[in-house]
Each structure stands twice: as C-alpha cells, then as structure tokens.
Amino acid sequence: MTVEAVVAIAAGVAAGSLVLTAFGLDSVIELASAGVLMWRLSVELRHGQKFSESAERTASRIGGALLFLLAAYVTAGALWQLWRGTGEQFSWPGFIVALVAIPAMRYLAYRKITIAEKIGSRALRADAMEAVTCGWLSFVVVISLAAQWLIGAWWIDGVGSLAIVWLLVKEGREAWSGDKCDSCCC
C-alpha cells in the first residue's frame, strides 16, 4: 500500500490527474484504517470483549469518516477541474500501479470480508470496504487514463473522479452507522 500510495500520488501530481491522486490518497487512507484496526484488535487482546465493543464502534466510525473525507476531496477537485476546463496527462506509472491494484485489492478485500464475518467485526468490514473502494477506484483510474490516452478529452479525469464518489459515500455511511453491507461485492 505504501508503494501504491507513493507511486500514485507522485504520478498523479506530475500528470495533473485528480483521479490518480485520489487513488494514491485512498491508499494512504487504507494505511490509516489498517492502523486503526490494529488498535481496535489490540484493545480486545488487552481488555477483552467488553471493551472491544466501544473500540469497534470507534474504529468503524473512523473508517467511515476517512471515506467521507476522500469523497469530499474527490468531489471538490473534480468540480474544480471541470470548472477550469483542465484535465490530466497520461501516466504510465499511474496506469501500471492502478492495473496491478485491481486484482490485488479484490483478493485483499475478499480475505478481509471473510475474516470480518467470522469474527463479527464492523471495523474490519469497514477496512475491507476501503479495499473494495480502492479496487473500484483503480478500475476508474485505468479507464480514465486509457480514455485520456486514446481520445485526449480534457474532461475525462473530472468525470472519472466523480464516478467513484457514490461508492465512497455509500461505504462511509455504512461504516459510520455500523450497518453491514450484505450486497457489497469485491
């Protein structure tokens, strides 16, 4: 995730690509979410199940808040790009890291969801949904960059960025409220 974040953010900034930069920031959020999850699990190990309920709720809400922050950033950035009439340049490093992330995030999300269901952890499920989001975001990045490379339309980056906002908000709401996403697929 660290390599993915560094490559995506650097390539996104260099190419002026919001969708690629958002992809890298999502990787940073996933790392933060993993840290929160480690904290939540350590609370249960140290203090037992009774204390882990509160930590579970807190960890799940932090995961939801991080998704909301990313959605706000992507929305504001995309609208600003569309308003200014500017878009991205094609980025091979960004394209490759996003392409590799699609199957990697699918596998990671599947494993996290499986474990979350076994242990009944909303926080781990929220963390898994961040991996699902990263997988979808990587798909949007690949499509956006490929379309930019093929047809060169300036608006593709902004529209591609907005395509992921609905998923970010949906998963953020579920993590914040502690609801289980039975229909989510990775």
Asked whether residue 111 is assigned to any structural domain, the reply reads yes
Asked whether residue 46 is assigned to any structural domain, the reply reads yes
Tokens 């930069």, residue located: 21
The pLDDT of residue 182: 45
Cα–Cα distance between 44 and 142 in angstroms, integer? 39
Which domain, by its residues, includes 120?
2-177
Q: Is 48 left (phi over 0), alpha (psi -120 to 50) or beta?
A: left
Rg from Cα positions in the chain: 17
The tens digit of pLDDT for each residue in 19-55 reads: 888 888 888 888 887 887 788 778 777 876 666 677 7
Among 16-20, 40-44, 182-186, the least confident range = 182-186
Signed CA dihedral, 81, 87, 93, 96: sign only: positive
The answer to whether 180 touches 174, Cβ cutoff 8 Å, is: yes
Asked whether residue 89 is assigned to any structural domain, the reply reads yes
**Length of the chain in terms of residues written:** 186
The tens digit of pLDDT for each residue in 122-170 reads: 777 777 877 887 888 888 889 888 988 898 887 888 888 888 788 788 8
Domain CATH number, residue 29: 1.20.1510
- Mean pLDDT, all residues of the chain: 82
The answer to whether 71 touches 172, Cβ cutoff 8 Å, is: yes
Q: What is the DSSP letter of 90?
A: -
Q: What is the pTM of this model?
A: 0.75
pLDDT exceeds cutoff 80 at 9:
yes
The structural domain count of the chain equals: 1
Token pair in block for residue 142? 């690949």
Asked whether residue 11 is assigned to any structural domain, the reply reads yes
Asked whether residue 183 is assigned to any structural domain, the reply reads no
Asked whether residue 64 is assigned to any structural domain, the reply reads yes
Asked whether residue 159 is assigned to any structural domain, the reply reads yes
Chain mean position to CA 151: 27
Asked whether residue 184 is assigned to any structural domain, the reply reads no
The answer to whether 162 touches 72, Cβ cutoff 8 Å, is: no
Q: What are the residue ranges of helices labelled H in the chain? A: 2-15, 18-47, 49-84, 92-119, 122-151, 156-162, 165-177
Q: Please choose, from the candidates 104, 29, 111, 41, the residue with its C-alpha nearest in 3D space to the C-alpha of residue 70.
A: 29
